[in-house]
Structure 1
Amino acid sequence: MAGAGVRPAVRADAGLPTELPPPLPGEALHARVARTLRGAIVAGTLPQGTRLPGHRALAGRLGVSRNTLVDALEQLEAEGYLQTRPRSGTRVAVPAPPPADAPPSPLPLSAWASRALAGAVPDVGGDYVVDFRVGQPVPELYPAGAWAQALARQARAAEYALPPDPDAELGPLETRRALAAYLNAERGARVTPDMVMLTGGTQASLDALARVFLEEGRVAALEDPTYPGARAALGATGATLWPVPVDEQGLDPAALPRQATLLYLTPGAQYPTTALLPAARQAEVVAWAARSGAFVLEDDYAADLHHGGRPPAAMQGLAPERVILLGSFSKSLAPVTRSGYLVAPREVVRVLAGTRPLTDRAPATLDARALADVLASGAYARHLRGARQAIRHRHEVLLAALDAELPGWRVTPARAGLHVHLTLPPGLPEAEVIQQAAAAGVALTPAGPLAQLPRPPAVLLAFAHLTPERLRAGVGRLARAMAPNARNSVDTSR
């Protein structure tokens, strides 16, 4: 008869698992056993006080070796789930948590997270024969050899006991020097190294600037239509967004608000219409910024991928005290590098460097030094000459195919960048074009979600990632899919 105060052992046979669940990626066998037993304890099938069978019996039940089982039990004992005492065996040491009476409550998201999620444009996946959607990587245009050599050189030369750098949050000085020299020579900018901060890309730059300068009650102006990542980053702060209409010459300065904190624009190749902002309008924007006290965020996303001749000078060169230049090498070098930068007045850079440790760190030093290497050695300039030639040829092939197959659709030739803007014939909705093209195996990007103000229906076609043969085939497929609405006679025999 059991003595007073001695709790009888609970038999484990009924609650013991009889087999192990499928392994998780990279999971060791003893960890899999521990996960199985832990789950039974948490689920309550092995209640507190349950005495487990002996090691050999339990190992045989689970189909593992005794050593594997012992490793699993030791792990669970270290975590507090089991307790082993001499002559008492191994028992479950913790009670199962009480069952939840109510369904899980919604995530307690902050206002910033809710606004950020609401402002994002979802990417619709799918398998397509020809994919014209924007954002496609162009791997054959990346200088993989030059980049690998630069990384190797910098890895061999790396100093692993660097002295403290007061500007560490800005990125390596040699990279900032190389960027300043490149932007001054190639983009007509006015930059010194202490005006440069390295980032993980343009989106990271936008997020940092939005957090520093925007909040509820402030105004952020931006082109309409515009890059959705900019709208999401600026809008997530709670600031009021002021859409500024875009015409065939880019942003209309006459529609700017009287006062704003930031203005986002893409003067070198307006996204998504590809319009070039003329010098007269640039001067109007700079004068407005001086009057209103705003900073202009110049996204220079396509400058290095200009199709003909030298790219237009950066707006930053007109007013370095008011224009913050944002750039990235993700399209012209490789997305994997995550090499971006911003150029701002020194006082702005100091604020960004001071707040950066709360949310971010400077990009990896080795990648940053490799970027300085490819810029200073001339490898990047040589790469661009070949890349621009290939992109220009594919652009011309696409324009010729569109003119031949869909002459009723108005295409805006791109002076820079990797896509064209195609305005649809009157009466033809974007949704119908997207749907019929998808049914034919052709993916397009609708322009409608990029705008808040009313605009004619349009689609975007990315071209640089497709060979000339694929470009012609894709346009032919699109024309056949839209034959009833294409307003031209399409040869469907091909």
Structure 2
Amino acid sequence: MAGSRTNSPPGGLLVQLDRATAVPLHRQLAAAVRDGVRSGRLRLGTSLPPTRTLAADLGVSRGVVVEAYQQLVAEGYLTSRPGGYTEVAIGPVGQRTTAAAAPPPAPRVDFGYGRYDVSNFPRTAWMRSIRRAFAAAPNERFGYLSGRGVPELHDALTDYLNRVRGTAATPGTVVVCTGYAQGVALLVQVLAARGARRLVVEDPSADDDVRPLAAAAGLEVVGVPVDADGIRTDLLDATPADAVVLTPSHQWPTGAVLPAERRAAVLRWAERNDALVVEDDYDAEYRYDRAPIGAMQGLAPDRVAYAGSASKTLAPGLRLGWLVLPRGLVDEVAAAKLAVDRGSPVLDQLAFADFVAHGEFDRHLRRMRPAYRRRRDALLAALGALLPDLEPAGVSAGLHLVAWLPPGLDEDDVVAAAGRRGVRVHGVGPYRLGGPGPGGLIFGYSALSERAVRDGVELLAAAMGQLRAM
């Protein structure tokens, strides 16, 4: 039996996944945890492994673990607590239950990154799209489809991405997935099966998607430093690899935009190494001072795999993402998608296709850009007034901002001091691969009001003032 096993402390979680069966992986994982709770092996209050840790142990995408945990939370088996802790919420029948440990208090101001203001989700327009899509869908759309998704969404995404992001997509090169995490997991799986051995990522970069997935697949992960203009292509030239993962339109987390000469250098490197460029275009629609730079995929569609999703533009709960692939990868990635979950939900795909085709996606983004810009401007104004020695980085774009700390202040100490004042903020250090670098703070502002942004910076300034006085 083709399977994958993990023992993940502290919960003693033992999971066996069978990739040969038609049962989706997230359902297998949910069933294993459910059985553990019912049997008493997973007791009330037991903390389960973080989603990215368990995903890396199992060699699956983080989305598989997230979906399983969310299902079990909805059923009442698990509870999700502030700070990302997931615990067993009930005991087996007949077991004497005791109150679980009190959760840590929620922060007064949370500058956590990677979030979206879901309160502005366009419910009315989305419902119209659901109704139209349901009424117009041919009967065959509700049967088993190919791993690429529904044709209506291929067409809508091709038109949108070519118009707005400057891609060279065709309907035949689009594969629909449940988000960036699954999309990059499918790519890693296919590359590893083809014999890939090394993957380059930006340093610093996100640590919860491609890096653990590549490591679990047996690929060596190499970080190439970034500077104010993105990945340093002079160092990339000396690093042979099978693929590189980039955020060229808005580097995460520094906010740099890769200029034209470096984009050309990356593509020359890919050609010399017969390598794939994976373009993560995670928040490119949010550029506030000018039109966004076009996607790299349009320059070299046979060398670049473009990855996008609705998570930062509509809502992460929709679980909608897409890949625009070189033609030689389409069939293998689509087959890998079928093997994982038999395809994404049809009605959601049809609704999103209608939403895009009727211009609702464009209208929603036009509404959200000024709102997010005001929050970013409020953050910059507060930092300038209260913490002028912090140095904001990056272009006027996105849903987060990095600010570099002045010499003499330790990043970990600042993050801890902020937490004691009720402010949650992340440091840059945990996302580096190549060792220490300049201290910096990552401010996510998308889910905060302008008043909350100001209050958070005031609390942070008080915390840093106390540090300086020590």
CA positional deviation for 1:280: 0.5
CA positional deviation for 1:486: 6.0
Q: Which residue of 2 aligns with 1:465?
A: 447
Q: Which residue of 1 aligns with 2:234?
A: 254
* 2:111/2:445 contact within 8 Å kept: yes
Q: Which residue of 1 aligns with 2:224?
A: 244
* 2:203/2:432 contact within 8 Å kept: yes
Q: Which residue of 1 aligns with 2:210?
A: 230
Secondary structure of 1:168 counterpart: coil
CA positional deviation for 1:275: 0.5
Q: Which residue of 2 aligns with 1:113?
A: 57
The partner residue of 2:274 within 293, 309, 322 is 293
* Greater Cα offset, 250-259 or 188-197: 250-259
* 2:61/2:213 contact within 8 Å kept: no
Secondary structure of 2:277 counterpart: strand
Q: Which residue of 2 aligns with 1:128?
A: 107
Matches for 1:403-482 after TM superposition, within 5 Å: 403-453=384-434, 454-482=436-464
Instruction: State the identity %.
Output: 37
Q: Which residue of 2 aligns with 1:175?
A: 153
Q: Which residue of 1 aligns with 2:78?
A: none
Matches for 1:4-43 after TM superposition, within 5 Å: none
1:424 to 1:112, Cα distance in 2 relative to 1, 3 A: closer
1:407 to 1:333, Cα distance in 2 relative to 1, 3 A: same
The partner residue of 2:119 within 140, 145, 162 is 140
1:117 to 1:212, Cα distance in 2 relative to 1, 3 A: closer
1:249 to 1:390, Cα distance in 2 relative to 1, 3 A: same
Q: Which residue of 1 aligns with 2:364?
A: 383
* 1:269/1:302 contact within 8 Å kept: yes
The superposition leaves residues 390-430 of structure 1 with CA deviations (integer Å, 9 ceiling, x where unpaired) of 11111111101000000111111443221100111112111
Q: Which residue of 2 aligns with 1:334?
A: 315
Say whether 1:213 aligns with 2:191.
yes
Secondary structure of 2:465 counterpart: coil
2:170 and 2:271 map into 1 onto residues whose CA distance is 22
1:197 and 1:436 map into 2 onto residues whose CA distance is 45
* 1:394/1:467 contact within 8 Å kept: yes
* Greater Cα offset, 264-273 or 147-156: 147-156
Q: Which amino acid aligns with 2:367?
A: G
Secondary structure of 1:271 counterpart: coil
* 1:408/1:486 contact within 8 Å kept: no
The superposition leaves residues 342-362 of structure 1 with CA deviations (integer Å, 9 ceiling, x where unpaired) of 001122011112233222332
* 1:406/1:486 contact within 8 Å kept: no
Query: What 5-or-longer segments of structure 1 have no aligned partner?
Result: 1-37, 43-108, 488-494
1:330 and 1:421 map into 2 onto residues whose CA distance is 21
Q: Which amino acid aligns with 1:232?
A: P
Q: RMSD of the alignment, in Å?
A: 2.7
CA positional deviation for 1:238: 1.3
Query: What 5-or-longer segments of structure 2 have no aligned partner?
Result: 1-37, 41-52, 66-82, 86-103
1:355 and 1:117 map into 2 onto residues whose CA distance is 12
1:163 to 1:385, Cα distance in 2 relative to 1, 3 A: closer
Q: Which residue of 1 aligns with 2:255?
A: 274
Aligned residues: 379
* 2:56/2:213 contact within 8 Å kept: no
CA positional deviation for 1:452: 1.1
1:117 and 1:157 map into 2 onto residues whose CA distance is 33
Q: Which residue of 1 aligns with 2:35?
A: none
The partner residue of 2:168 within 163, 173, 190 is 190
2:111 and 2:181 map into 1 onto residues whose CA distance is 23
Secondary structure of 1:411 counterpart: strand
The partner residue of 1:397 within 378, 392, 412 is 378
